Homo-oligomer: A and B are copies of this chain.
Amino acid sequence: MPEPRLDVLCIGNAIVDVIANATDEFLAQEGLTKDSMRLVDAEEAERLYDHMRPAREVSGGCAGNTAAGIAALGGRAGFIGQVAPDQLGGFYRHDLTAAGVEFSTPPVDVGVPTARSMILVTPDGHRTMNTFLGAAQELAVDVLDEEQIRSSGILYLEGYLWDPETARNAMVRAIEVAREARRKVAFSLSDLFCVDRHREGFTALIDEARIDILFANEAEILAMAGVPHLETAVAAIAPKVETLVVTRGAAGALAVRGGERADVPAEPVDKVVDTTGAGDLFAAGFLYGEATGKTLVQSLRLGAICAAEVIQHYGARPEADLRALAGELAA
């Protein structure tokens, strides 16, 4: 197995975030479940947008955020995802490339625009996402650069990519290619409702040992295991993957690998502004640690440091110098 050319190759929905403040009353009026992600069609996207406050636009998408975080730590990151040849697609490409991420998937013109997620941030900093997938769902098997996948140490995929059928097929093929090349496969369960929508598919991925590193937050691991207690869920899922990572917000994070178990607290933060991207940046830190041979607890610490940075400002891409924040851990 040759030395990898990239540390981590991330595959996911290429999405520009449209971020606005909102009240809890507004979420209630709209019938939205706080902290979750729902898919919306073009019509609902327009209707909701008309009711939102002034917004700011920042490139996002879980896997894209993770790739940007890994690059900010000094890692070699790539991204595969689908944009349209429009203004948002141009922003998306610029922002990833300028962050130092290899991104060569060409835009596709099938009459739908680049994906956007309308993100409502409540005064407590929590985010509720409404995503119009647009061109992101057109990610096709034939745009995968299989040589790029084979030459990446870790392939990282977001569970959200299971939603659109075309992209799901691309994802399944990418996993095959990575496994054949004996690379690691990492996967995020993404969202509680995403687990509900795709329980069967996710269960198959896990039970068939196609995932080496599984990321979940507390709600997702409970849903996946179908039990009401964290430790029971961890005990049920951990034996099925090489490494299980569970993020717990302000309560920190834990990881289990074989007989090893590590727990870390959350990094202290001055003020939570916007939790968007917390899980994505946690994954960035952890995967960077894995790619550079850190211990389990060190990788968790890297994840916690990156997550803490991203929740202190609007947007899900790092703004501060993550490499400096990580100090010796990034050395």
Binding site for B on A (CB under 8 A): 18, 20-21, 49-50, 52-59, 68, 86-88, 91, 94-96, 98-99, 113, 314-315, 317, 319
Contacts and interface: CB of A to CB of B under 8 A. Distances in A.
A56 to B, nearest CB: 5
Given A86-B87, A87-B88, A99 B315 contact: no
A57 B56 contact: yes
Nearest to A56: B58
Nearest to A88: B87
Given A54-B95, A55-B91, A87-B88, 20 more contacts: A18-B91, A20-B98, A21-B319, A49-B94, A52-B94, A53-B98, A53-B99, A54-B68, A54-B94, A54-B96, A54-B98, A54-B99, A54-B317, A55-B95, A55-B98, A56-B57, A56-B58, A57-B91, A86-B86, A87-B87
A110 B87 CA distance: 17
Contact of A57 (B20, B50, B58): B58
Contacts of A52: 94, 98
A99 B55 CA distance: 10
Nearest to A99: B54
Nearest to A53: B98
A113 B58 CA distance: 19
A20 B315 CA distance: 13
Given A87-B87, A94-B49, A113-B87, A56 B56 contact: yes
A50 B94 CA distance: 7
A46 to B, nearest CB: 9
Nearest to A19: B56
B50 A54 contact: no
A314 B314 CA distance: 10
30 contacts: A18-B91, A20-B98, A21-B319, A49-B94, A50-B94, A52-B94, A53-B98, A53-B99, A54-B59, A54-B68, A54-B94, A54-B95, A54-B96, A54-B99, A54-B317, A55-B91, A55-B94, A55-B95, A55-B98, A56-B56, A56-B57, A56-B58, A56-B314, A56-B315, A57-B57, A57-B58, A57-B91, A86-B86, A87-B87, A87-B88
